[in-house]
Each structure stands twice: as C-alpha cells, then as structure tokens.
Structure 1
C-alpha cells in the first residue's frame, strides 16, 4: 500500500444545527449528498466565479462537516466563512485532528478516521487518513504521478487561488460543482459557462521523451503561450491550457514545447470535455 504524508494541510470543522444549510448556500458542491466516509472536491468562489479556496469536504458523522484545505489558505478561509456566518447557528474552527496520510491500492484500514477521496476512480482505493497513520516511507513522487495520471489539480501545485474558474481545474468533472442545487457564491458565472460551453482553459496531461522542466514553465506553440506546467513527475505533468490554441497548433503541425523540449498533450481519462472541432484563436 503506497502512502504519502502530506505537509501543510489544515482541517476546519463546521458544526451546529445550521451547518449543512450554511455550507450548501456558499460552496460549489452539493454537501447534502456526500456519502458517509467519503470526501468530495469543492470550492468557495469569488462573486466573479473564480476559485478563491479549493478543498475536500466530508461529513463528520455528527451532522457537521470537516474541510481539508491547503494550510496556506486556511486563515483567510476561516475569515471568509466567519464573514458569511451572520446569524447562522454554526461553529467554525480549526479541527483537533489533521490529515495524517493518503493511501491507495489497498482496502485495509490503518487507524484514525478514513475517508475515500472521490476525485479518483473507486477501484484505486484512494483514502485520506485523519488522526493516525502507519509508519512507512513517503511515496510523495508516486502520489504526484497518480494525480497527474488522473488529471487531479490542486492549488499551489497547479494553479493559484483566484486565478482559475472551476471548469479550468475540472471541478465539474470530479463532483466539485453541482449545477442543479440552488444558488451559491459565484453560481451565476459558473452556470453560464456550463450552459454556453464557454470554458476554454482545461486540464491536460503533458508528456515528453525526457524529464520535463519545472512547474510554472510556459508551454509555447508558434511563439504563443498555450498554458503552463503544473505538477511535474519525470516526463509527465499537468497543465491548464487553452484548448483552442493547443488544438490549432496540433492541427497545423506546430510543435508545442516547454523550454524548447517538444511535448504532447492528452486529455485525462474519463473527462467529458474534448478538443475543439475547429480551433480558432479567440484572444485572451
């Protein structure tokens, strides 16, 4: 069973009789349908629709919720939730437990509380362990490779908070956006992108013959930037790219490169989006 011991994650608890209603009216996913023992991708948006905070959310078993978030965003996230609290009967605080480990390719338990990471296919057995985990070597590189193989982007590694729409980072593919529930912050913009099909930036998998350069390196085609590398593992990486620009380059036989290294782009497995039928450079 591979194990990764992530650093710098925070866990926030939202409890109280209004916890479900409070979160349902704020965040992008449907918190009312998260199965027990499961963690779902979710986000809190700016009114303009950009992702301010991405996280995993899970029922705590007592009517409240736990939120697993990048520790660098935690303080601002707590302040934002508190700002929206008003008269809601909720308590918002740092949780006593923390993310201890992430495991995959195994169904066994290891102590502590365990939640299935629903961003990944169930057969992979990806689980997040809170409070306790076995001693083991850290398979950090393998975890990054697993995320890349399945197109799972995370802030800090693949995008910065405030720079991406939910569609850009595949929240619509992983259950992180619900298009049928009521309003939430930024919902109008995201729904319009969904129903008009105007999302042009998407997650792709980048591959080269040799090791790729560092995260943040521009992907270029014919002198134009089509995206930037995110998480990198050897000769593979994630990137958020303009599909129209990348497709135009591929159709024209124009090489796509990262610091001069030729790369190929492919869509993650199982996504519902596709390359444009006819690629036109629509500008920024």
Structure 2
C-alpha cells in the first residue's frame, strides 16, 4: 500500500518520567501513556483560547511522538521547553531525522488517526531513509479529511486565529473534558457550557482557487474556505448567518454547503453572544 509523505509536518519526541504529565497539563487532548494504536488529536492554546499549534500524538519506544505543522514548529518547540521547567522530560527535535506519512490502510508500526467517529486512515512515522520511497503527493490525505469535514492548521487556518470549537475539536475528541486544567482551558470550558461557539466546520463543494476566499450567504460574509482539493474545502462558518445554505456563493459563483456527518449543529443556530 502506498504511503503519502506529509512533508509539512514536523515531529518532536517527548521522553522521560514526566513526559505524559507535561503534555497532559499543557495540551487539550487525551495524551497516550502507553501504546494504544491511536494517534490522538490535540491543540496548544493561547491563554485566550486560540489555537497556536495543532497535531496528533502517539506512543512508541517509551516516548510520546508529536507532530505539528512546520509553520508553527519552532514556536511549539520553544513554548514546550518553557513549560517543561525542571520536569524530568527530554524534548527532542526530530525534524532532521524523521518524516510523517499517511496510509489509507493499516501498515506496520502505524497508528490510527481517529477523531471521534471519524477515521482518517493511518499515521506513519519513519526515519528519513525508510520514508525515501513514499509518494510525494499528499492529496489522498487532504481529500479524505476534507470529505469528513476535518480542518487542519496551516492548510485551513493560521496560528492564533481559530478557537478549538471553530474546528470541531470538542466533538472529535481533540479536547479531554475529563482532565484538569491546561492552557486555555477556561475559554474552552466556557464555550462548551454556555454554548457560545459561533463558528463551526462546514464542507464547501464547488470552489476553485486558493484558500481564504470568503463564503457569502444572505448577502454577508460568513467565513473563509480552507485548502481546496478536488473541488472541496472545509470552512469554519458563522452558522447563525446562514438561513439558506442553498444560496451560498464564493467569488460570485454558487457553492454547496454541507454539514459533516458527525455534526450535531445546524444552519441557523444562534450562539448566546451572536
């Protein structure tokens, strides 16, 4: 089975007696404490609740292996070393020696990229030498995640721009609501319990061109699309401004708006502070 190189992902390794505690106390998601076969979705938030970095984490060789988009990798590395303080954790920058890939079916050593009810294939981490014959085309991964309504940082939104709820992390197990505090937890909790999430992921079919183009509904901009792959994109849109999704346009041309299969929200939903 062909493995697609996800060349825009940077890899870091967290090892040591307190590695799990550090990541659990700082990142939003469930952190693996042993090999469970899964790649767990997470975000590093600002104190104001905006996503600074986003990625997945898995357990292998007595360590937690974390990936994030290359545009935020340096900042993520810097911040995690700051949060480390004197904890018994070794944070290793693996960007020079390891690569991350995607496979639509299971391969040896891979972990399942499962986000709530959505299974996005298999996340593969391998040495540069072992990844040398991977396909350079990452379209299969992006086509799969866009069809499922899953947004990713770097391709769909920049750092410090979106809340975790904006990309559905609360519904796709990117947030562990059972654990204690982490950076930005107060904002996440308030949005969950007060129902103040204004934007939600929507699948947009029919767009062409680049990301960041505005979607117009009922005469108003309701948000911008992310990366376009095979005529589809994910957009984080203001649901309360969309009363007629069939009338949406992009660059003056009609597009189709569809809610992801996992969504519990609806067009026209109004938040408490809309």
| TM-score past 0.5 threshold | yes
Deviation at 1:170, TM superposition (A): 1.5
Pairing 1:70–2:69 present: yes
Pairing of 1:120-269 with structure 2 (within 5 A): 125-131=121-127, 132-133=130-131, 135=133, 137-208=135-206, 212-246=208-242, 248-250=243-245, 255-269=247-261
CA contact (8 A) 1:50 1:165 kept: yes
1:104-153 Cα deviation digits (max 9, x unpaired): 0x3343xxx42221238577643324223473644433322111111121
Tell me the equivalent position of 1:54. Answer: 54
Return the offset for 1:276: 3.9
Aligned residues: 271
Q: RMSD of the alignment, in Å? A: 2.4
Structure 1 residues 200 and 235 mapped into 2: Cα distance closer, same or farther (>3 Å)?
same
Distance 1:213 1:123, change over 3 A: closer
Equivalent-residue separation in structure 1 for 2:132 and 2:48 (angstroms): 43
Aligned to 2:3: 3
Relative to the length of structure 1, the TM-score reads 0.86
Contact 2:32 2:57 in 1 (8 A): no
Question: Could you say which residue in structure 2 is the equivalent of 1:81?
Answer: 80
Any stretches of 5+ residues in structure 2 without a counterpart? none
CA change 1:158–1:32 in 2 (3 A) is same
Task: Identify which range, 36-45 or 132-141, moves more after superposition.
Answer: 132-141
Give the equivalent residue in structure 2 for 1:19. Answer: 19
Consecutive unaligned residues of structure 1, counting only runs of 5 or more, are: none
